């Protein structure tokens, strides 16, 4: 993890300051940007999100799906937590805190929007930073790669129905046409582009070197696109943040709980089924982290720049890195306890491989 990624929270805070400042001085410019949309999809944001998402997906080799059965216990646990637990648990947390505990401390007209943002945030598992978390926890790289590839394929079919179902249960109107369009624009098309591009880069005797060079060049572009998107968001959210700064702290509570609950659940389930620690670690971290780039894009498309939904997804960006670094530390420190369970193979027995898989470019 480079210095930029390690201190992502600091850069997000700087984006808050820059965005609020620019929003106050150039409000007309940002209002014009907000109007540049087709079918509820903001064109500048769509471009920025493609610059964020495509380089991440470029790291994914869908051929890794062939290796899913090799670590079927870890894969089963991760899928269960990602798709059967995480979105529904976050929805329950959102209902409990936003409609209950924090109701009188949040803007009444944004309660539904905050709930929607939290649901969207939890509905898609991370596809990029998990390689960093897996590396830091000494995870088995081929498991991580195959699990992420499988999640990407499932996301195409499951993201919209899960978000639609949970928003419907929250009595929030679901603009299905925009939701499906978001899946097409922010998942399907980028995944196709990334895989075609990856195949073209690798179709050469120096293919791996070409791929790594492109990933290295696109990495700062991807990060710059993320920060630019956040500046746009905070330029529109400035008044709300200034008037009620506690909103960010309150929205952090359900996100924090869901990260620790889901990572702990996946970790314990893997121990129960006797997955090796180098599988349990990345499984727990994949189960807890979010595809916040997709969440931000979808929230903007469905509810707009100035919505509480967009702000809720950005809070996820704000706190994810320190939370996940803490989760990584817990996974590493508990390895001795984990491997004391009878039937769990030691790391040296099952995962004596180089962490840097030749098919994975680290974000």
> Model confidence over 168-220: pLDDT tens digits?
888 787 677 777 887 888 778 888 898 899 889 988 888 889 988 988 888 78
What pLDDT sits at residue 362? 37
What pLDDT sits at residue 81? 95
What pLDDT sits at residue 300? 83
User: Which residues, 6 or more positions from 161, have their beta carbon under 8 angstroms from its beta carbon?
Assistant: none
Q: Report yes or no: 250 and 105 within 8 Å, Cβ to Cβ.
A: yes
Give the global pTM.
0.80
**Cα separation of 273 and 275, whole Å?**
6
What pLDDT sits at residue 280? 93
Q: Report which of 66, 56, 58 is spatially closest to residue 201, judged by C-alpha positions.
A: 58
What pLDDT sits at residue 5? 63
Extract the residue ranges of the chain whose pLDDT is less than 70. 1-6, 8, 39-40, 64, 67-68, 128, 174, 237, 239-240, 349-363
48-333 CATH pick, 1.20.1600.10, 1.20.1530.20, 3.40.1010.10, 3.30.1310.10:
1.20.1530.20
What pLDDT sits at residue 52? 80
**Cα separation of 281 and 275, whole Å?**
10
What pLDDT sits at residue 128? 67
Q: Report which of 288, 285, 299, 297 is spatially closest to residue 332, judged by C-alpha positions.
A: 285
What pLDDT sits at residue 4? 65
What pLDDT sits at residue 119? 95
The number of angstroms, rounded, from the C-alpha of 206 to the middle of its chain's C-alpha atoms is 31
User: Which residues, 6 or more positions from 191, have their beta carbon under 8 angstroms from its beta carbon?
Assistant: 57, 152, 156
What pLDDT sits at residue 121? 92
Q: Report yes or no: 140 and 64 within 8 Å, Cβ to Cβ.
A: no
What pLDDT sits at residue 215? 86
What pLDDT sits at residue 229? 80
Number of other CB atoms surrounding residue 208 within 10 Å: 14
What pLDDT sits at residue 236? 75
H or E element, residue 42: strand 41-42
Greatest distance between any 2 Cα atoms in the chain: 65
């Amino acid at each position: 993890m480079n210095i930029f990624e390690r201190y992502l929270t600091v850069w997000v805070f700087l984006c808050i300051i820059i965005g609020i400042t620019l929003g106050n001085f150039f409000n007309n410019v940002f209002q014009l940007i907000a109007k540049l949309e087709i079918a509820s999809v903001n064109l500048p944001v769509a471009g920025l999100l493609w610059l964020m998402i495509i380089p991440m997906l470029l790291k994914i080799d869908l051929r890794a799906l062939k290796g899913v059965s090799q670590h079927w216990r870890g894969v089963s646990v991760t899928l269960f937590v990602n798709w059967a637990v995480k979105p529904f648990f976050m929805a329950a947390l959102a209902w409990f805190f936003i409609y209950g505990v924090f109701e009188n401390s949040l803007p009444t007209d944004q309660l539904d929007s905050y709930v929607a943002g939290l649901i969207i945030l939890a509905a898609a598992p991370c596809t990029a930073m998990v390689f960093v978390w897996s590396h830091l926890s000494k995870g088995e790289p081929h498991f991580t790669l195959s699990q992420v590839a499988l999640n990407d394929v499932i996301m195409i079919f499951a993201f919209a129905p899960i978000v639609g179902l949970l928003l419907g249960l929250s009595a929030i109107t679901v603009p299905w046409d925009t939701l499906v369009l978001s899946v097409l624009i922010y998942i399907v098309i980028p995944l196709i582009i990334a895989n075609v591009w990856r195949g073209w880069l690798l179709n050469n005797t120096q293919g791996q070197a070409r791929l790594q060079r492109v990933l290295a060049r696109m990495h700062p572009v991807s990060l710059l696109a993320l920060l630019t998107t956040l500046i746009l968001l905070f330029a529109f959210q400035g008044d709300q943040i200034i008037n009620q700064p506690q909103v960010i702290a309150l929205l952090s509570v359900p996100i924090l709980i869901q990260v620790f609950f889901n990572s702990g659940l996946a970790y314990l389930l893997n121990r129960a089924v006797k997955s090796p620690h180098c599988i349990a670690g990345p499984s727990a971290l994949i189960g807890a982290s979010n595809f916040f780039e997709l969440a931000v894009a979808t929230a903007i498309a469905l509810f707009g720049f100035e919505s509480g939904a967009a702000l809720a997804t950005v809070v996820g960006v704000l706190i994810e890195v320190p939370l996940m670094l803490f989760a990584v530390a817990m996974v590493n420190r508990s390895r001795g306890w984990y491997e004391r369970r009878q039937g769990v193979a030691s790391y040296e027995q099952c995962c004596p491989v180089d962490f840097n898989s030749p098919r994975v470019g680290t974000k």
